[in-house]
Amino acid sequence: MRTQEKVALVTGASRGIGRGCAEALAADGWSVVVNYRSHEDEAKAVAERCRSFGVRAVTAMADVRDREAVDAMFARTVEHFGGLHLFVSNAADSVRKPFVDLSVEEIAHTLDVSLWGVIHTAQAAARLMVRQNTGGAMVFVSSVHVPFPYANCADYNIAKAGGHALAMTLAAELAKHRIRVNVVEPGWVDTPGERKWSSEEDIAREGARLPWRRLATIQEIGNAVAFLASEKAEYITGSVLKVDGGFTLPRAGYE
């Protein structure tokens, strides 16, 4: 591994918040493993953007639901970079409809990606970092849906709550290994995933109702992750950083 090289692996990094995380980390001097499942061209573009900051970046295709594929991805990371210093859990999926209308298959899909995918990748990362015995950091991209569960998102709410609980557990277990574990809770973010459900008019209208008068950008979430990954956050572990532009403020407090 290069002297002083910092290596990060970001799941679901080909687009959306994952892309914002990968690019913010690269801008902060991290070499990046850009994980993706199905958007290869976009993942390559993210890696190229990361390399423009003077760091190394590679793409890594792996379905986070597949434990063997996940383990192989981490093994390739070690082969390529020599080790890992930061793991960012971001990959997720969901279905938006009332709980009574969700099929078992739809719930299972969301939990497979957004909870089991987190478990598979986090355990692989934790085992690697403990074995390295060089410390490190983990950041879980969660959601304001954990403290404030929204209707028609039961599958997503359950998965994110489980990931949050795992992050806090790991913060307690891994502190003795000098591995910091924290959570970022984004509010409403303008992503390709969000645009599956909302039109341009919906986003503009709903964003204007927020205290900050707009949705968050993927870069703003990435900047929060980069901060928690940095030496400036050396004494921060087991914490939650809410990045929501006031989204979760009491509605009565809105002007």
pLDDT tens per residue, range 15-72: 999 999 999 999 999 999 999 999 999 999 999 999 999 999 999 999 999 999 999 9
When pLDDT is cut at 50, 70 and 90, the band that residue 202 belongs to is confident
Confidence band of 195 (pLDDT split at 50, 70, 90): confident
Q: Taking each helix axis from N to C terminus, what angle separates 154-174 and 117-132, rounded to the nearest 10 degrees? A: 10
Instruction: Provide the whole-model pTM.
Output: 0.94
Range of weakest confidence among 4-18, 25-39, 155-169, 187-201: 187-201
Which string of b and e fits 95-110 if b means at least 16 CB within 10 Å? beeeeeebeeeebebb
For 6-245, the fitting CATH number among 3.40.50.720, 1.10.730.10, 3.40.50.150, 3.20.20.450 is 3.40.50.720
Predicted confidence at residue 2, as pLDDT, reads 45
Q: Known catalytic residues? A: 156
- Does residue 218 carry a pLDDT above 90? yes
List of long-range contacts for 96-104, beta carbons under 8 Å, 24+ apart:
96/152, 96/153, 96/156, 96/197, 97/152, 98/151, 98/152, 99/152, 99/154, 102/154, 102/155
Averaged confidence pLDDT in the chain? 95
The predicted structure's pLDDT at residue 55: 98
User: Are 11 and 35 spatial neighbours (Cβ–Cβ below 8 Å)?
Assistant: yes
R_g over Cα of the chain: 18
Q: What is the mean pLDDT of residues 139-166?
A: 97
Return phi, psi of residue 251, to 5°.
-60, -30
User: Distance (Å, rounded) from C-alpha 73 to C-alpha 226?
Assistant: 22
CB-CB neighbours of 156 under 10 Å? 22
Segment 97-103 shows an average pLDDT of 97
Q: Which pLDDT score, from 0 to 100, does residue 192 have?
A: 77
Residue with more model confidence, 188 or 25? 25
